[in-house]
Amino acid sequence: MPLPALFRHALRLPVIGAPMFLVSFPPLVKALCQAGVVGTFPHVNARPTAQLDAWLTEIAADLAAYRAAQPQAVVAPHGVNLVVHRSNPRFEPDLDVVVQHRVPFVITCLGHPGRVVDAVHGYGGTVFCDVTSAEHARKCIDAGVDGLICVGGGAGGHASAQSSFSLVREIRRFYDGCLVLGGAIGDGWQVRAAESLGADLAYVGTRFLATQESNAQPDYKQMVVDAGVADLVYTDRLSGVPANFLRPSLQRHGVDPDALPPKRPDMGSLADHEARLWKDLWSAGHGVATIDDVPTVQALVQRMADEYRAACALPRSAALAP
């Protein structure tokens, strides 16, 4: 399946480190790229627009210096996630900054990506759109995106109720472009499984949240390590869009997970309420089931690469008749 030129022979593992609000800051983005997987962050983590400008300068300069100092290393491209929501006053000014910096990779979410496609294709950049349903996928394909990110059930952050197995195969039936699969992918076995399902790349959020370089507070990382799937609450009552939250973080802030307030209207990720919400009420996906450490990104990617190699070498099923 067609992989955009940006990613061809450019990664150590077919993985994009997913953008995470309040979690993906420059140290995580740079560590991911230096480990050979795509590093991304949501533009709204940089506040205000001047900080986005500064972060993009810093990331590009540090990665260039790293490439020069380590010519043998596989250093992956970086990217920015833009919230294309009508409520987002930062959208236009931040898109201008993205264009000025010619950011190689842009991920859109929560809106129609057409405006971003035009602007980013203008300088030769690559645009993927985050989708949680086949219907949304069709709209993004019509807008001319270079790839789709299918975020299936069990993902951290806003997640589909549709199983990844079903979502990616449904979209693959009508789309032969680049597909990325996300939702509870955190080891090399799962990355390989995503490829078996027809995805070209895997999208990994929660697993990278629990790393040394992530901006999550130490308590948050520990909660991810301690949690099982029974500790997650999947609800649209908190942010207006269905998302997975860590039950103990709700309880800590006096929110009864079993008596949540009525559903709020979708306010978009920039509303003040939304920022406060994600600061206190922590999100994570079903990947928590197998997360039991907080390694460096470099060590984690090495482990995932070893698992991926082992998964690629799996023999055919012993159940098959000769």
Ligand X SMILES: Cc1cc2nc3c(=O)[nH]c(=O)nc-3n(C[C@H](O)[C@H](O)[C@H](O)COP(=O)(O)O)c2cc1C
Tell me whether residue 155 or residue 179 sits nearer to ligand X (CB atom): 155
Q: For the window 54-73, what string marks contact with ligand X as x by the rule CB under 6 A?
A: --------------------
Say whether residue 20 binds ligand X (CB under 6 A): yes
Say whether residue 156 binds ligand X (CB under 6 A): yes
| CB atoms closer than 10 angstroms to residue 257 | 19
Say whether residue 175 binds ligand X (CB under 6 A): no
Find the binder of ligand X among 157, 188, 240, 268 (CB under 6 A): 157
φ/ψ of residue 234, rounded to 5 = -100, 115
Q: Apex CA 274: angle with CA 224 and CA 101, to 5°?
A: 90
- Pairing between β-strand 243-246 and β-strand 157-158 as defined by DSSP bridges: antiparallel
Find the binder of ligand X among 28, 32, 171, 204 (CB under 6 A): 204
φ/ψ of residue 16, rounded to 5 = -110, 125
Instruction: Please say whether the dihedral angle defined by the alpha carbons of residues 280, 35, 84 and 136, taken in this order, is positive or negative.
Output: negative
For the bound state, the minimum distance from the C-beta of residue 30 to ligand X, rounded and expressed in Å, comes to: 18
Q: For the window 208-247, what string marks contact with ligand X as x by the rule CB under 6 A?
A: -x--------------------------------------
Say whether residue 81 binds ligand X (CB under 6 A): yes
> Residue with CB nearest ligand X?
205
Q: How far is CA 119 from CA 92, 99, 104, 169, 315, in A?
A: 11, 7, 12, 30, 46
Torsion angle defined by CA atoms of residues 118, 266, 17 and 63, in that order, rounded to the nearest 10 degrees: 60
Say whether residue 201 binds ligand X (CB under 6 A): no
* Eight-state DSSP code of residue 182: E
For the bound state, the minimum distance from the C-beta of residue 21 to ligand X, rounded and expressed in Å, comes to: 3
Contacts with ligand X by CB under 6 A lie at 18-21, 23, 42, 81, 109, 130, 151, 155-157, 182-185, 203-206, 209, 269, 283-285, 287
